[in-house]
Structure 1
Amino acid sequence: MTMRPTPQGFGPDTSERLPLPAADMMNEAQRAAAQMLIDGPRKGVKGPFVPLLRSPVLMERLAKVGEYLRFESALPARIGEFATLVVARHVSNQFEWAIHHPLALAAGTRAGTLDDLAAGSQCPRDMDESEAVACAFAGELLQHHGVSDPTYAAALALWGERGVVELSTLIGYFACVSWVMNVARTPAPATEGFSPLSALPR
């Protein structure tokens, strides 16, 4: 009989499978990769990069993709943060939700919108036009592995071809690192006043 895995953070055992190795247990490549993160905009080895440190070349390359998408993308910051939370909710990843929830609020997304998203709503209230397009685009891509012509046209009108490509990649990137953390059971940071995601009905 095959056991069905439970969503990250909701099973009976939440012990971290791939914690940060002690510095004296790292090899030279791991120490160099860790130092790259410490010296970069992230200022430390956190979240998905803790388990990814087992494969330092992969970690470095994914880190560069993430840096571009977060800090250099053509997409407005509010759309990037909101789309990241759509992904985090879809894959039930506590870390990305904890990190990007306050960033989305600071970028201008309403608290009620994020409350609805956390509760599993496919169409959260109080979204503006661009958030609604991003929500539809991310939701279709995550659920159907593509997007409809109307959704594509709406995204193209707002962000152009570069924006559509970068939004698609952002969704894929955060799904990727969330899956790594879900497998590793990477915990969310302890954040005062933050409410973690609850399990959705299965």
Structure 2
Amino acid sequence: MTRLDPVDEKKSPEFAAVLAELTQSRGKASNALRSMGHAPEGLRRLAAVGDYARYHSSLSARIREIVIVVTGRESSYAMGHHGPLAMQAGVTQDEVSALCQGTVPVSFQGVDAAVARYVLEFTSKNSVSDASFEALKALMTPREITDISITSAYYAAFAMIATAMGVPGDSEDYVKAELDWQRRKDQS
């Protein structure tokens, strides 16, 4: 159950403007994004980071979704969206399940394993070990490593906000539309 009353965009022109921007960049505004409507400018700025992470970073769809699943593994809201998106990007259900349990799937090798290990450590209280950082550095460019870190940080914040606000999951139709939207974005 949502902990704050939703903002009516008909009564808040500033929120309505941000929703229009979100619809243009993402197809629709999710329940989680709408839950941030009490701070329209904050939502705009946070969403800009998400837009970069999701649609403009140097990461492949598969790597992006591995990062997001590892980061959001304890958020049912995040997993309701990014479990299916990860599978659409080629991550198997068994691999998603392992990532959700906080482990690197045995089927992961090379970049996939290094990314999963890095993000598991990045999202822990102890941060990233030298060994994990060096393993990732041997396989990825500095920009890719930075994009992984930005993406994980954004989705950590997003999952914490959605959880704290008590945001209900989006409808199955919304998630299907999101899968289609993401597929088109990844192919362009």
Q: Which residue of 1 aligns with 2:179?
A: none
The structure carrying a bigger helix percent of its residues is 2
- Aligned ranges 1:37-186 → 2 under 5 Å: 37-40=22-25, 42-89=26-73, 92-118=74-100, 120-186=101-167
Q: Contact 1:98/1:191 (CA < 8 Å) preserved in 2? A: no
CA distance in 1, matches of 2:29, 2:4: 13
Is 1:16–2:10 an aligned residue pair?
no
Matched position secondary structure for 2:35: helix
Q: Contact 1:75/1:159 (CA < 8 Å) preserved in 2? A: no
Deviant stretches of 4+, over 6 Å: none
Q: 1:84 to 1:107 in 2, by over 3 A?
A: same
CA distance in 2, matches of 1:38, 1:123: 35
Percent identical among aligned pairs is 24
Amino acid at match of 1:22: D
Q: Contact 1:18/1:50 (CA < 8 Å) preserved in 2? A: no
Residue 67 (structure 1) shift: 0.9
Residue 88 (structure 1) shift: 1.1
Q: Deviations over 1:138-160 (max 9, x none)?
A: 11111135211121112122221
Q: How many residues were matched structurally?
A: 174
Amino acid at match of 1:93: S
Q: Select the structure of larger CA radius of gyration.
A: 1
Q: 1:68 to 1:145 in 2, by over 3 A?
A: farther
RMSD: 1.9
CA distance in 1, matches of 2:5, 2:69: 24
Amino acid at match of 2:95: T
Q: Contact 2:2/2:166 (CA < 8 Å) preserved in 1? A: yes
List runs of 5+ in structure 1 lacking aligned partners.
Answer: 1-14, 195-202
Q: Contact 2:102/2:120 (CA < 8 Å) preserved in 1? A: no
Residue 121 (structure 1) shift: 4.1
* TM-score under structure 1 length normalisation: 0.79
